[in-house]
Amino acid sequence: MIRTALAILLLAALCGCVTDPVAPPVSNAVPVVIRPTEPAQDAVLRRAVCIGVSNTAGGGNPCPGTDTDARTVAAWMRDRPITLLLDAAATREGIMAAIREATTGMDAASLLTVSISGHGTQRRDTSGDEADGMDEGLVLWDGVWWDDDVWAFIRTLPACRVEIISDTCHSAGNWRVLTLGLGEPRYRQMEFDLGDDRRDEDWPGQLWQVAGCDEGGWSYGSPDGGTLTQTLDRMRSDGITRHRWFLATSAAMPLKQQPAVTTYNATDEFLHGEALK
């Protein structure tokens, strides 16, 4: 029994979701689309895609509480269309299709919020573009979505604003190669260093991500949800800015898990604007 328990904990460490082993929840095989009772009164498009991946098609160690995280984030945004993708619905193609649909018609003022809770993982860098020699990836129902492929997909999106909440291990680097920049204490802002003259050419949108941990770190959770997502929920308040929301969340996190902020092309107006707006 002790040997079995150790094996389960080792698998959790390798895959990147640190939890106590519990029975997996029932999988959802199709996306759940939530439409607001009344559409938003302004002309700015605001949409959300909320993802929770506890199990995979190949089995393995479950990551409990991911469905709770996805529903928690969805509950923040009942005034906008939301697509909820849980377990079997959270395939790579399913997620890309949901994001493409959500960003249809979006412009520079529009906002897409994407949350993902589940396992994160790493492998040796295959393209030679990682300073630490490691690629980061999101463990989905049908396999791992590696950072280089995530970035290639982001570049196909319209020039909108994107918020990402990544409650996975190794999460700061799960959308692109990152270089650490200067920031306030406990506010670690990172940029993919293309150089100012090339950024808009690569993708003209803006991106802000709050990650559960650094590229080499761990995100913790339980059947009640991930530590990052549930702390964000407690620290959220009407009118709070992205900057202050992250600072409050970071201060409330346990010392064993330190979140990070990553950005791309983000203006001060976006970083210090009202979260989820």
DSSP string across 250-266? HHHS-TT---EEEEES-
- What local confidence, expressed as pLDDT, does residue 216 receive? 84
DSSP letter assigned to residue 88: G
- Answer for the pair 199, 265: CB distance below 8 angstroms, yes or no: yes
* pLDDT tens-digit series, residues 18-53: 543 333 344 477 889 988 876 666 778 999 999 999
pLDDT at 43: 78
Q: What is the pLDDT of residue 98?
A: 97
pLDDT at 125: 75
Report pTM.
Answer: 0.84
The segments of the chain whose pLDDT lies below 50 read 1-15, 19-27, 179-200
Q: What is the pLDDT of residues 50-73, one digit of tens each?
A: 999 999 998 888 999 999 999 999
**Three-class DSSP category at 100:** helix
Q: How many Å is the maximal CA-CA distance in the chain?
A: 59
Q: Is it true that domain 2-271 has CATH number 3.40.50.620?
A: no
For residue 183, the tally of other CB atoms under 10 A from its CB is 13
